[in-house]
Amino acid sequence: MKEGRVLVVDDEPMVRETLGQVLSDEGYVVDLAVDGESALERVHAARPDAILLDLMMPGMNGRQFLQALRADPAFGSVPVLLMTAVHGLEVNLATLGASEVVEKPFNVDELLNKVALAVYRSRDANTAIALPSASPPRTPTPDPDRGVVLIVERDRARMQQLDLLLSNRGFTVVSMTRALVQLSRLARALRPRAILLDLHSDGAADVLHELRAEKELAVLPLLVYTREGGPPAHTGVETLTAATDAALVSFVEQIA
């Protein structure tokens, strides 16, 4: 039997209840929450050793919950595992305030291994904090959060370079190499300060149409670009050609 308390936060009842049962069978004490607001109430009622958090939820979403959680020094070290159905999603976990990403549908063994490691580290850290210390360690002050930038870039090396450049400027970067159908849902949940969309990435045309067809998403700053020179393929929107990393970063900086 395991020791530890795990909080599961997900707006989908089947996911929430199934995870609760799996973790309970493993021996954990499990709390359940349907959104970020109720999750904060659970956290303050009983401090969890680890949190499984859905990123995309109505009301207070996962990112907003993380901001509120990390703003309280008492919960600054609680490991948070992000759950997402967006496969291939890459998140700057450090700037977001999370520890790990877990993809849906779950590999149960992998999930339990990650939870066990998170709980172990959390309980070990709490023990260390409880020991007397002549000079308690200072908690580093996080960089100011300038908002989320959503990037779709087919070249993984260039995507990682953009991630680094924007993260160093205080942005939280969520990136992927393909324009998946879940991108519009992700945009609704995260409300990014900007979206950078590589015109030649897989699925770009369909996602672009969806982003511009919905009134809620059409107001989000969007830059469609191509790394190649010459006239772009027809998209119905203005496209930056021969785009450099500097030009993409400059676009984000100007509208942030």
Q: What is the pLDDT of residues 2-26, one digit of tens each?
A: 679 999 999 999 999 999 999 999 8
What's the CA gap between 22 and 87, in Å, rounded? 22
Residue 140 has pLDDT above 50, yes or no: no
Instruction: Count the residues in the chain.
Output: 256
pLDDT of 216 above 70: yes
All CATH 3.40.50.2300 domain ranges in the chain, comma separated? 5-130, 148-255
In the prediction, which pLDDT does 126 show? 62
Distance separating alpha carbons of residues 128 and 65, to the nearest angstrom: 26
| Averaged pLDDT of the chain | 83
Percent of the chain with pLDDT over 70: 84
Q: Which CATH class is domain 148-255?
A: alpha beta
Q: Kind of pairing, strands 90-91 and 172-176?
A: antiparallel
Structure letter (DSSP) for residue 142: P
Region 5-130: CATH code: 3.40.50.2300
Distance CA 210, CA 181 (A): 9
Give 151-176 pLDDT, tens digit per residue: 999 888 888 888 889 888 888 888 88
Q: What is the pTM of this model?
A: 0.63
- Kindly report the number of other CB atoms within 10 A of residue 203's CB atom: 14
Query: Exposure string (b/e) for 104-123, b if CB count within 10 Å is 16 or more?
Result: eebeeeebbebbeebbbebe
Q: What is the pLDDT of residues 25-37, one digit of tens each?
A: 989 999 999 999 9
